[in-house]
Structure 1
Amino acid sequence: MNKIIECVPNFSEGKDPRKVAKIADAVQRVKGVKLLNVESDPDYNRTVITFAGEPEAVRDAAFSAIETAANVIDMTLQKGEHPRIGATDVCPFVPVANITMSECVKIAHLLGKDVGERIGIPVYLYAEAANVPRRYLLPDIRKGEYEGLSKKMNDAEWRPDYGPSVFNDRVKKTGATVIGAREFLIAYNVNLDTDDISVANTISGMIRSSGRMKLNEKGEKERVAGTLKFVQAMGVDLKEYKITQVSTNILNYKVTPPHVVFEEIKKLANVYGVNVRGSEVIGLIPKGAIIEAGRFYSSEENEQNLVNVAVEKLGLSQLNKFVPDKKVVEYMLGLN
């Protein structure tokens, strides 16, 4: 049976459809790769592209996409709500079928070396491909964002794994790229019916695994753990819709599935007198996560009915229509 991996690069461009199209075309031109999803957000100024196929073809497509992004995106001009460190902000490989995580790690290293040497972009390796523990988490690498990259690269502890270690004119335009291998991550955002970003920020601090800083009885700062495991979260202002979001990355949906995140945010929002206006999945979602949500809200047994219940109860079509055949990874790959 063929080995199948997925690649989900995030690009720091979500406003210019022509630039996004050039990057997507670079993926589609590679034989043996299936383009699954292209999703842009102008407020985030970010595009998530999902594609899959056999390892070598997917690696070639990732390289081509990163090279194209470096040519069409100028980080000196880029502004957006989402944290980012470069034109291709992050590029993870995910095992899908008949392939191990260790094989995905090797692919990440090979791509990182090529991107660093052939394109001249600084590359940091993260997640399962990380060379050192402090680079395991993406937010730790991205801390300081693009604006702090020059200073970061001068720190011996934050020298790139591949590529230039000097913030030259080329790097000034492209920024850095974070490449790695990980299990399936669900980018899941919950909409709050308020334009007050402080509510989204507060709830994010309360739920994310890393927690938040709080004063104890002695008046000293201490970190309080969040309520949800394997969840990253931050508040985001969506000016286009005049709402805010609790934007999350679910790192292990089998421990903390989307419906648990949704219900926890809804409960906390209610404390602040704020209603939840549905939610959205950025990119794709595993079938297991959507089915579990359906089972949480319904006693249905039919798969299609469970999916429909999940879409309705989570409000997944509130901002953009959620089409299961285009959003569930197994359906997209014909593995259902």
Structure 2
Amino acid sequence: MARLVECIPNFSEGRNKEVVEKIVDAVRKTEGAKLLDYSSDASHNRSVVTFIGTPEAVEEAMVNMAEKVYENIDMRNHKGEHPRMGALDVVPFVPITGVTMEECIEIANRVGKTIGEKFNIPVYLYEKAASNKGRENLATVRKGQYEGFFEKIKDADWKPDYGPCEVNEKGGCVAIGARVPLIAYNINLDTDNVEIADKIAKVIRHLGGGLRYVKALGVKIEDRNMAQVSINVVDYQKTALYRVFEMVKMEARRYGVNVIGSEVIGLIPMGAIFQTAEYYLQFENFSTEQVLETRIWE
């Protein structure tokens, strides 16, 4: 069995295509790493990359990408709808085949140490790699964003795991971790009132008493003059995607608002699609063995 790790770095540039390509090329040029997907969002001013490879290749590709990020992105000039704390904002490692979560935690630590020392960037470990319980949740780590970290980092509780104890003005800070597969999922509303999207987000997310494995916030998509509920489903096997979609629709109706579409950012596990199809089509005898491509791949 091949030993494969997935890495899904998010960086703070979604408008300059030339810069995005320079950064993504770092993965393309790393032997043993395979670029699976990348997408950019101008309103969020953010790009999400997905690549896969052997543990050694993924580790090398991520450091190569970090170098291009810090060469080309200046956080002092960055504006966007999505919360962010640095040029290279978040780097999760996900075990796929033949690799344990513990090995991904080790990769997160090695990459974190390298980025901290080589690029002079404060590094915070999160999720399974977190150095303490208070740093497991990415939203907690990123709270205050880039602008707020200049004060936050002075608190002894927020001493970085690696790198300097002061914010790099150009590069900011970065969160690096290990986790199970996550689905980045956005739901669009037929209103430009971002307060409604934010109210819905507060109700559906775990911190607000909502769905256990959901993180969410309301944002405004300026180029479409539209409010959006931006969601991370951190464990789709325990909180199915269709439950998230239906709960957003239900809450939206309270405000006379409709869902007009949704989008997946990056890649989505096939199992999440199977769950959704089984629910909406009310299959009584469904099995993944009935999917043509599944049988062909066998």
TM range, normalised to the smaller chain?
over 0.9
The secondary structure found in structure 2 opposite 1:174 is coil
Contact 1:291 1:306 in 2 (8 A): no
Letter in 2 for 1:125: L
1:104 and 1:335 map into 2 onto residues whose CA distance is 27
Sort the Cα spacing of 1:151 and 1:68 in 2 relative to 1 into closer, same or farther, 3 A: same
Partner of 1:310: none
| Higher mean displacement: 99-108 or 267-276 | 267-276
Sort the Cα spacing of 1:290 and 1:306 in 2 relative to 1 into closer, same or farther, 3 A: farther
- Once the 2 structures are TM-superposed, how far is the Cα of residue 16 of structure 1 from its aligned partner? 0.4
Q: Deviation digits for residues 155-194 of structure 1, max 9, x if unmatched?
A: 1110111011123xxx100001110000011111111111
1:306 and 1:19 map into 2 onto residues whose CA distance is 40
1:272 and 1:166 map into 2 onto residues whose CA distance is 44
1:161 and 1:335 map into 2 onto residues whose CA distance is 42
Partner of 2:102: 102
The secondary structure found in structure 1 opposite 2:82 is coil
Sort the Cα spacing of 1:302 and 1:251 in 2 relative to 1 into closer, same or farther, 3 A: closer
Partner of 1:266: 249
1:290 and 1:126 map into 2 onto residues whose CA distance is 27
Which of 267, 286, 290 pairs up with 1:284? Answer: 267
Letter in 2 for 1:173: K
Q: Deviation digits for residues 314-334 of structure 1, max 9, x if unmatched?
A: xxxxxxxxxxx9xxxx9xxx9
Partner of 2:203: 206
Sort the Cα spacing of 1:36 and 1:335 in 2 relative to 1 into closer, same or farther, 3 A: farther
Letter in 2 for 1:232: K
1:257 and 1:34 map into 2 onto residues whose CA distance is 28
- Once the 2 structures are TM-superposed, how far is the Cα of residue 297 of structure 1 from its aligned partner? 1.0
Partner of 1:193: 190
Q: Deviation digits for residues 220-258 of structure 1, max 9, x if unmatched?
A: xxxxx22x1110010010111221111111111011111
1:270 and 1:49 map into 2 onto residues whose CA distance is 34
Partner of 1:12: 12
Structure 1 residue runs of 4+, over 3 Å off?
299-307
Specify every segment of 5 or more residues in structure 1 that has no aligned partner in the other structure, as ranges: 212-224, 308-324
Matches for 1:1-336 after TM superposition, within 5 Å: 1-167=1-167, 171-211=168-208, 225-226=209-210, 228-299=211-282, 301=286
2:188 and 2:290 map into 1 onto residues whose CA distance is 24
2:101 and 2:223 map into 1 onto residues whose CA distance is 39
Contact 1:230 1:251 in 2 (8 A): yes
Letter in 1 for 2:26: A
Q: Deviation digits for residues 15-48 of structure 1, max 9, x if unmatched?
A: 1001100110011110011101111000000000
Sort the Cα spacing of 1:306 and 1:194 in 2 relative to 1 into closer, same or farther, 3 A: farther
- Once the 2 structures are TM-superposed, how far is the Cα of residue 120 of structure 1 from its aligned partner? 1.2
1:208 and 1:134 map into 2 onto residues whose CA distance is 18
Letter in 1 for 2:187: V
The secondary structure found in structure 2 opposite 1:172 is coil
1:305 and 1:86 map into 2 onto residues whose CA distance is 45
2:288 and 2:180 map into 1 onto residues whose CA distance is 24
1:129 and 1:157 map into 2 onto residues whose CA distance is 17
Identity %: 48
Letter in 2 for 1:116: G
Contact 1:294 1:306 in 2 (8 A): no
Query: How many residues in Structure 1 have an aligned counterpart in Structure 2?
Result: 295
Specify every segment of 5 or more residues in structure 2 that has no aligned partner in the other structure, as ranges: none
Letter in 1 for 2:249: K
2:280 and 2:206 map into 1 onto residues whose CA distance is 25
With normalisation by structure 2, the TM-score equals: 0.95
1:281 and 1:75 map into 2 onto residues whose CA distance is 26
Contact 1:295 1:306 in 2 (8 A): no
Contact 1:233 1:246 in 2 (8 A): yes
The secondary structure found in structure 1 opposite 2:229 is strand
